[in-house]
Amino acid sequence: MRYAEIGLVVLVACVTIFVGWRLVGDDLLGRQAVVWVANVLMLVTIRIGLRVRGQTWEHLGLRRHWGGLRAAGRAVLQSVLVLVLALAAFITGSVVMRNVVTATTNADMSGYEYLQGNLPMLLLALAAVYVVSSFGEEVLYRGFLITRLTEIGGAGKAAARMAVVTSAVVFGLAHFDWGLVGIVQTTFMGLVLAIAYVVTKRNLWVLILAHAYIDTLLLVQMYLGGASGGAQ
């Protein structure tokens, strides 16, 4: 059942992106919108699976209560630490690729060129990615995927480690449009995020906040006409 659930979520994403990209062609904003739609449809599919199982979002780590101001402050501090470690991992991925290949060691961020100098589009993109990427990707690649893979493996330490690594690889592959370097960089970053999910006892809000910081840095950099490197 869990294999079928994961497969269905993947199928929804693949079909949406394949059909959507054929419809929008080379339009950069259109292609990005298709990815956002795919993420939303995957979240809907996950929600349906949770309801069938009699579970809630809290089962994946979306806690309803932060436990007071002290706990909330601790979560914010943890999110900043995760941000630093995730960016360090992203840079490490670039260093690794520099020693492996002679091609560019930057991710291909040409898909965000529509943001350059466009403030209204930047604000719209930020609003969208906070929901679809910062929130959505953490639910998808950390909350859902790690939880389900761990359950499949028997909830032991070995299963948890395999789930963490698998989540990181899938997260990297999901950024295939960033090129090979981008895949490696986001895999390294995904590994940090996955480990953080386990270390924080599956507190997804910590990861969502950290991801929001990263997305903000990326989009602002693209708005300012920054270099081709970045993180999502």
The domains of the chain are located at 2-223
Report the C-alpha gap between 181 and 187 in whole angstroms.
Answer: 10
Q: Nearest to residue 212, comparing CAs of 110, 122, 116, 83? A: 83
pLDDT of the chain along its 232 residues, tens only? 778 999 999 999 999 999 999 999 988 889 989 999 999 999 999 999 999 999 999 999 998 877 788 888 999 999 999 999 999 999 999 888 888 765 556 777 877 888 888 899 999 999 999 999 999 999 999 999 999 999 998 867 888 999 999 999 999 999 988 888 899 999 999 999 999 999 999 999 999 999 999 999 999 998 988 544 444 4
Q: Nearest to residue 143, comparing CAs of 213, 84, 55, 77? A: 55
Task: State the Rg of the chain over Cα.
Answer: 17
Report the C-alpha gap between 44 and 84 in whole angstroms.
Answer: 31
Structure tokens at 43: 């979240």
